[in-house]
């Protein structure tokens, strides 16, 4: 899938229950199952399918409360990473999804790929700038889980 053909070949849509096994495979391929709390399901996931072969090439979850959301489990097929697909999905789809869901602020936390997020419409922020309780509660659990494995967590915000 060439970068300039992404708009024609990639469709972002809510995941269905039948997509769950393929989503789990993509998350496992990207070592993202580690972050699961045990409450995950296809309900909050979105998928990007190559419309030609119907394969899921990306997925992500958006969980939210009121107008505050958290982007979780953002994964791109390993064989397609570095080709602009993730950046395309973030920069061309997330604002619209946030508007549809009534989300005014969408947060993301990253330990593995802050350089990726820096190339998107998200802006890096300091932890001290985060005032939304919904995201702070999420971070308490997230940081507890990663503090033994990683030095620094980066925080990103998208305002719609």
pLDDT tens by residue, 120-148: 999 999 989 999 999 998 888 766 655 55
pLDDT at res. 153: 76
- Region 93-111 average pLDDT: 92
Q: What is the pTM of this model?
A: 0.86
Q: How far apart are the C-alpha atoms of 118 and 99, rounded to whole Å?
A: 22
Inter-residue contact 98 to 136 (CB < 8 Å): no
What count of Cα atoms within 13 Å lies in the side-chain half-sphere of residue 53? 4
Inter-residue contact 31 to 138 (CB < 8 Å): no
Please state, rounded to an integer, the average pLDDT across all residues of the chain: 85
Domain 3-159 bears CATH identifier 3.40.190.10: no
Helix residue ranges, H only, 20-110 = 20-29, 85-101
Give Cα 80 distance to the centre of its chain. 16
DSSP 120: S
Q: What are phi and psi of 40, to 5 degrees?
A: -75, 150
pLDDT at res. 151: 59
Those residues with Cβ within 8 angstroms of residue 45's Cβ, 6 or more apart along the chain or in another chain: 14, 15, 19, 23, 59, 60, 61, 73
């Amino acid at each position: 899938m060439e970068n300039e053909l992404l708009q024609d070949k990639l469709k972002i849509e809510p995941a269905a229950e039948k997509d769950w096994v393929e989503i789990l495979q993509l998350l496992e391929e990207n070592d993202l199952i580690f972050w699961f709390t045990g409450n995950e399901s296809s309900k909050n996931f979105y998928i990007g399918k190559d419309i030609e072969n119907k394969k899921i090439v990306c997925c992500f979850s958006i969980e939210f409360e009121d107008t505050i959301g958290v982007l979780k489990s953002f994964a791109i097929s390993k064989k397609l990473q570095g080709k602009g697909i993730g950046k395309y999905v973030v920069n061309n789809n997330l604002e619209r999804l946030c508007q549809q869901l009534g989300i005014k602020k969408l947060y993301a936390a990253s330990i593995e790929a802050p350089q990726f997020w820096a190339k998107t419409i998200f802006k890096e922020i300091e932890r001290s700038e985060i005032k939304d309780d919904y995201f702070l509660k999420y971070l308490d659990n997230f940081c507890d889980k990663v503090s033994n494995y990683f030095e620094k967590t980066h925080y990103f915000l998208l305002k719609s």
